[in-house]
Chains A and B, each alone.
Chain A
Amino acid sequence: MSEMCRRDPRREWIARNRLHPEHASALAALGNIGGGGAASEWLGPSGVLRRNPHGVGFIGPNGVKRIDRSGAQQGGSAPGHGRQAVQQDRRRHVEISDPAFLVAVVPDLTGGRLSGHDKDLLGLARRLADDDPERPGAVLAVVFGEHKEERLGEAGIDRVLHLGAETYAGFAPEARLAALTAVERELAPRHWLLPDSPLGGADLGRRLAQRLGERPVTGVWQIEADVEAPLGWRCTARGAAERLDIRRPLPRVALALAECAEPVDETRHAAEPLSLGAAVPIALSRIEDLGQVAVDPAGVALAEAEFILSAGNGVKDWEGFHHAARVLGATEGASRVAVDDGFMARDRQVGASGTWVTARVYLAVGISGAIQHLQGIQGCDRVVAINLDPGCDMIKRADLAVIGDAAEILAALVAKVEQQRGGQRDAA
């Protein structure tokens, strides 16, 4: 029986189609059946020589099929092997054990992850650090509070100083400033880089510069090497409400705009943990953070909402949906169908002909994920989908997808949240 060759035409078809998403696995499966390469020539039952053109050649390092007609290479294609080479991570590992100097970066870590702005800034830091290959500097990231970022090394960080104490949580500029002053005293970085983002680096960076007695540059968007400048760099910064470009030597403290440099994507760095020798002195705080104020999520503009609960054609129980939005404290959004059918207001439409949203969490309920809709949620960090159809495009985009009936799952979620809150209230 084992002589009999069973063909799977569909898999063969996938194996021929290099752009099919399952191409690699189909190819590997076919290769395994053939026992490491299908025969390329054999004698047919009627004595005719048959050729399999697909069995000829081999898969090159880039996953492209190569046929060597010089005769040096025969048959022996190793399908699947080339694929793995493509999937393999091509980043170069870099370890800077004895840095000539330090470039300190204080990323915002909005929501516990490196933002695009942070990554651009780290790219800028790498330019400063790697300028002289003989004497490379190390990029030191000072991270406040808890974070969820696992790819610090891939963003170009050599050393991480993690200050996770409770005192740095929320709006604590005085405590953070004290910590940065301690870093300055102990490690004396050559450059300080912060993102010029309101309420993040823009505030802290200006405080730091004043404390260090440096005149910082703000709104930097370009740097270039300049031997005459004290630090060897010259920068271009925006001034006067974005109307002027100021070119000046780069000072020690710089606050840079988004897209000031390309993010790191070719190397992976060590992100070694570091700690301060002496304890950070406790700063006397004259500003007390009383926590966030509950704002009515329905009043927040869709484009700047942080958490959106969005309804599509799959929502039938609208009362339940509005109730869920209220309980979760989410801003409501909708697909075009839900708007056209009159269940939601026009200003709630997400997508190409509606609003481009930038929510941190986008919860799509009964939305199929048409391209016009997906365009609108490109800027969202986390997408969660609830849908009956496991094959729809929204599931492909989603970080977490639950297959099931929207009304039931929403009701269960609401019950869960209410139970949690009730429990907390009892405990308090």
Chain B
Amino acid sequence: MRPEQQGIEMAVLVSVGRHPITGRARRADQDARGLELALCLEGRLPGSRIGLLHAGPRSEESEAALRGYLGMAADAGTGLNTLTLLEQPEGSDAIPALADHLSAAMPQLVITGTRAELGEGSGLLPYALAERLGWPLVNGLAAVEKVENGVATLLQALPRGQRRRLQVRLPAIICVDAAAPAARQSAFGPARRGELEATPGAAELDHELAGWQVAPARKRPKRLKIIRAASARDRFKAAAAKAEGGSGQVLEGVSSEQGAEAIFTLLHEEGVLRS
């Protein structure tokens, strides 16, 4: 085996999610996709290691949800059967605890979800870690193509089903969202047998968050189509307007080459033609 083919050290940050309908605690969807990505990568790079990391309070409910992640590693044939739990009191800031742990453990690749399903859910955590650790960060990840010589080649998901290829120097933080491959099922037995390794984490209370007013989301008002017209005639015209525009350019009586030329210019200006 060539030395650069050797495996890498990965850390997957996982959180407790919430089922959108029943409201029960579960593994968070994006974090599970992150673990799926790590498991696939481990299969391709023999000798890799995955560390599962969660910072937060320990309760029966959250424990059941976190064990869901351990159940995913069941048939991967890996030694992944423990999850490191940085135990913190309720309402603490997870960032310092995670940053301390990561700077000590020094994984090469940290995989996180984009937004948490509970709490503030601002999606700031990966950015805060990247800033503290000074590592590059890539969001919206769709796939990891290869890892070689401390450089990872990634595919980033763009809107409209497009993909962009990026190269990142390791160590790096990558965030996955719904564009990453869906997570496999979690097996119950291995989830029960898995271990939660609890260590006390830094307990800094998030005072700012405590001062905010939090309420269940209100429905956002629907935007009305406002027609600013001074007269009834204008209002009627605006309401009855069918095909708006008319400002378009019409090429009539031109040869098909000239027509094609005009279309080509427009397509080129819009940048939809890839060479």
Q: Which residues of B contact A386 (CB under 8 A)?
A: 259, 263
* One of A215, A221, A393, A416 near B261 (C-beta < 8 A): A416
Interface magnitude class on chain A: 35 or more
Cα–Cα distance between A105 and B230 once the two chains are bound (Å) = 32
Contact in complex: B250, A401 (CB < 8 Å): yes
Cα–Cα distance between A300 and B162 once the two chains are bound (Å) = 8
CB distance from A89 to the nearest CB of B (A): 13
The answer, yes or no, to whether B205 is at the interface (CB within 8 Å) is: no
CB distance from A425 to the nearest CB of B (A): 9
Cα–Cα distance between A146 and B227 once the two chains are bound (Å) = 33
Which residue of B is nearest A294, CB measured? B274
A220-245 contacts to B, CB under 8 A, are: 221, 238-245
CB distance from B243 to the nearest CB of A (A): 4
Q: Which residues of A contact B270 (CB under 8 A)?
A: 111, 360-361, 381-382
Q: Which residues of A contact B127 (CB under 8 A)?
A: 206-207, 209-210
Contact in complex: A287, B167 (CB < 8 Å): yes
Q: Given contacts A361-B272, A396-B243, is CB(A171)–CB(B164) below 8 Å? A: yes
Interface SS, A side:
mixed
* One of A218, A301, A381, A396 near B124 (C-beta < 8 A): A218
Which residue of A is nearest B126, CB measured? A206
The answer, yes or no, to whether B189 is at the interface (CB within 8 Å) is: no
Contact in complex: B252, A403 (CB < 8 Å): yes
Contact in complex: B250, A245 (CB < 8 Å): no
Interface magnitude class on chain B: 35 or more
Binding site for A on B (CB under 8 A): 18, 20, 114-124, 127-128, 130-131, 136-140, 153, 155-156, 158-169, 172, 177, 208, 211-218, 220, 223, 226, 228, 230-231, 233-234, 236-237, 240, 242-254, 256-257, 259-264, 266-267, 269-275
22 A/B residue pairs, CB under 8 Å, sorted by A: A202-B139, A210-B127, A218-B122, A239-B121, A242-B217, A243-B216, A245-B215, A287-B138, A288-B167, A292-B165, A301-B161, A329-B274, A361-B267, A395-B248, A395-B250, A398-B250, A399-B247, A402-B254, A402-B259, A411-B256, A421-B275, A424-B275
Binding site for B on A (CB under 8 A): 18-19, 21, 62-64, 86, 110-112, 148, 170-171, 173-174, 198-199, 202-203, 206-207, 209-211, 215-219, 221, 238-248, 259, 262, 265-266, 286-295, 299-301, 304-307, 328-330, 360-361, 363, 369, 371, 374, 381-384, 386, 390, 393, 395-405, 408-409, 411-413, 415-417, 420-421, 424
